[in-house]
Amino acid sequence: MTSRTRRSLDPADYVYRHDVRVRFAETDAMGIVHHAAYLPYLEEARVEYLRAIGHPYSSLRAAGTDIAVLEASVRYLRPLRFDDVATVHLVPVAATRTSFEIDYLLTVDGVACSHAVTAHACVNERGRPTRLPMWLTELAVTRSSHR
């Protein structure tokens, strides 16, 4: 993924945080979190962020809009392990008329463990691109101009 944003390892650069406890089932034979487990952590934080800002995902869907993931990229810096409490920090960082990006930083006890970026598109009930809700465009534009 070619991100249009700079990747920050400073939690202060992110507007929201959500804690996720690593479950044993998410670890591999080496005792670390399997790489595929990171995407659900990002999704959980993203959904909780929308709820926290007063725009729960269920209300988007009720209005006929879905948010499809176009791309996801994770850079692994340090492993997560069973029972770690990973804090997923996120910030919307870029937007077009129909798509946007979110940057994430996963930390344990303040130490950066991974950085991720997801790209999304708003789609209608038929899966066709549709305009971003204005509030979502404003979030990403406001954040990118402050970086």
Catalytic residues: 28
H-only helix segments in the chain: 38-52, 57-62, 134-145
CA atoms within 13 A on the CB side of 55: 15
- With beta carbons less than 8 A apart as the criterion, state whether 30 and 82 touch: no
Can you read off the two tokens belonging to residue 50? 């929308």
What does the angle CA 40 – CA 101 – CA 111 come to, to the nearest 5 degrees? 60
Q: For the beta carbon of residue 12, count every other beta carbon within 10 angstroms.
A: 7
